[in-house]
Amino acid sequence: MLEFFRRARRLQQEILGINVRNRDFVYPLNHRRYFPSVNDKLLAKQILSEQGLPVPRTLWVGQNHADLDSLDAVLDNTPEFVIKPAQGSGGRGIRIMEQAGEGRFLDSHASGPGLSREDVQAHIADILAGVYSLEKLTDRAYLEERLRPDRVLGQLTPSGLPDIRVLMHRGWPVMAMARIPTRSSGGRANLHQGAIGLGIEMRTGQTTHAIVKNKVLKTHPDTGQALPRVTIPYWERILDYSRQAAHCFNLGYLGIDVAIDQQQGPLILELNARPGLSIQLANQQGLVAKLYSGRQAA
């Protein structure tokens, strides 16, 4: 019992909760006016690439149904691609597709007969109608080149693209975590869908603890094998990109998602103006001390 209260007290002192995150960080540091610049991924990509930061190539953008006409040419000439809603979140509406011949497309993370060209168009029409963007009634859809995981992080996942979340406070990286898709997360690197979160030591880029759905684990949930500790490749460059990216947006509290492509190296996937708090679990480290100490690590 005493132990319980001792733990609860420590939790209170060290963990950043949603209330404080919103009250002391999101509201004062992130002006609502600047939310759209990160919530719209196309807009964010544009801002980033104007600053010379690497982002995945955009293959096609559609704003209304008429734009679907120009889609065919792209579909014909691209062996694999990713469909995304510009304003989706939590992985919603994202489809990772590859050509299966005879005008059919396979969803890389779903079983089944795959999609016809009409199905792909219907999915894009849904995106345009705002089905995947909670607050808006319309949206833009775009196709993006498919990235392939590098060897180091790729070995941790059966399928899907891991990414690295760097938490930025007033332009400084304070904490980071790698997110590894699992079978139950459907190849997407979203923690609440069951992806693995790996804490990262800021100084060295070495992974530390691992969590799945708020639970600390030692073995990979898909393979049952011990999770190896790895060093994130391009770690310094990822931190550097993050700093530069944070500089482009008027947001003082920001999550930056970076993916590492086999060939191109680190690319900025997207940004998040209300980054989640599970990063503390993955690192077994509270944010309170880091955020209030003034100067941050790294």
Partner 1 sequence: MRGRDKLLIIILVGVCFALVFYRIHMFGFSAAGLLPQRHYELLLNMTFDGHDEKVRLRVALPFETDRQKVRNEFFGAPEIPFRLKHQAGNRWGVWERDEVRGRHSVVYSSMVRTEARRFKLPEVLPRPGPYATELQAALLSAKHIQSESKDIRNLYASLVLPEQRDNLAAIVRAVYQHTQQTVKSVKLKGTTDALTCLRLGEASCGGKSRLFVALCRTAGIPSRLVGGLIMKNGTWRSSHIWAEAWLAGRWIPFCPLNGYFAEIPAHYLTLYYGDHSLFTHTRDINFRYFFHGKTVLAPPAEALRDIRSQPAGLLNLWSAFEQVRIPLNLLKIILMIPFGALIVVLARNVAGIPTFGTFMPALLAVAFRDTGLLWGLILFASILIFGGGVRFALERFQLLHTPRLAVILTSTVLFMMGVTALGVATGQILATRVSLFPIVILTLTVERAAIITEEEGLRQAGLVALGTMLVVTVAYALMSWEILQVIVVTFPETLLLVVAVFFVVGRWAGIRWSEYLRFREFFFSGRNPHA
Ligand X SMILES: Nc1ncnc2c1ncn2[C@@H]1O[C@H](COP(=O)(O)OP(=O)(O)OP(=O)(O)O)[C@@H](O)[C@H]1O
Binding site for partner 1 (CB under 8 A): 7-8, 10-12, 14-15, 17-20, 23-24, 90, 92, 122, 126, 129-131, 137, 192-193, 199, 201, 208-209, 211, 214-216, 277-278, 280-281, 284-286
- Provide, rounded to whole angstroms, the least separation between the CB of residue 255 and ligand X: 8
Task: In angstroms, give the least distance from the CB of 193 to ligand X.
Answer: 9
Asked whether position 161 contacts ligand X by CB under 6 A, the answer is yes
**Exposed, middle or buried by CB within 10 Å (0-12, 13-18, 19+), for 143?**
buried
What is the distance between the alpha carbons of residues 108 and 100, in angstroms, rounded to a whole number?
A: 11
Least distance in angstroms from the C-beta of 7 to partner 1: 6
Residue that the structure tokens 């979340």 belong to: 165
Which of the listed partners (ligand X, partner 1, none) does 94 bind, with a CB threshold of 5 to 8 Å by partner kind? Answer: ligand X
Rounded Cα–Cα distance for residues 120 and 60 (Å) = 14
Contacts of 131 (CB under 8 A, 6+ apart): 93
Instruction: Examine residue 200 and tell whether it contacts ligand X (CB under 6 A).
Output: no
How many residues in the chain?
Answer: 298
Q: Does 181 bind ligand X (CB under 6 A)?
A: yes
Q: Which stretch binds ligand X (CB under 6 A): 6-14, 21-29, 184-192, 217-225?
A: 184-192
Among 75, 270, 274, 285, binds ligand X (CB under 6 A): 270
Binding partner of 126, given partner 1, ligand X, none, CB within 5-8 angstroms per partner class: partner 1
Choice from 47, 180, 189, 279 touching ligand X (CB under 6 A): 189
Q: Given candidates 86, 257, 275, 285, which one binds ligand X under the rule CB under 6 A?
A: 257
Show the site string, 62-101: x = touches ligand X by CB under 6 A, - = not: --------------------x-----xxxxx-x-x-----
Among 190, 242, 280, 283, the residue binding ligand X under the rule CB under 6 A is 190
Q: Is 189:179 a contact under the CB 8 Å cutoff?
A: yes
Rg of the chain in Å (alpha carbons): 20
Sort strands 104-107 and 95-99 into parallel, antiparallel or unpaired: antiparallel
Which of 47, 147, 180, 268: binder of ligand X (CB under 6 A)? 147
Nearest-angstrom CA–CA distance, 28 and 181 = 33
Listed in sequence order, the DSSP H helices in 15-116 are 18-20, 27-29, 35-39, 41-50, 71-77
Q: Using CA atoms, how far apart are residues 214 and 73, in angstroms rounded to an integer? A: 44
Residues sharing a CB contact under 8 Å with residue 204, sequence separation 6 or more, in sequence order: 231, 235
Minimum distance from residue 196 beta carbon to partner 1 (Å)? 14
Spatial separation of the C-alpha atoms in residues 165 and 159, rounded to whole Å: 19
Q: Which is nearer to partner 1, 73 or 217 (CB)?
A: 217
Residue 14 tokens read as 């060290």
Residues lying near ligand X in the complex (CB under 6 A):
56, 82, 88-92, 94, 96, 144, 146-147, 160-161, 163, 181, 188-190, 257, 269-270, 272
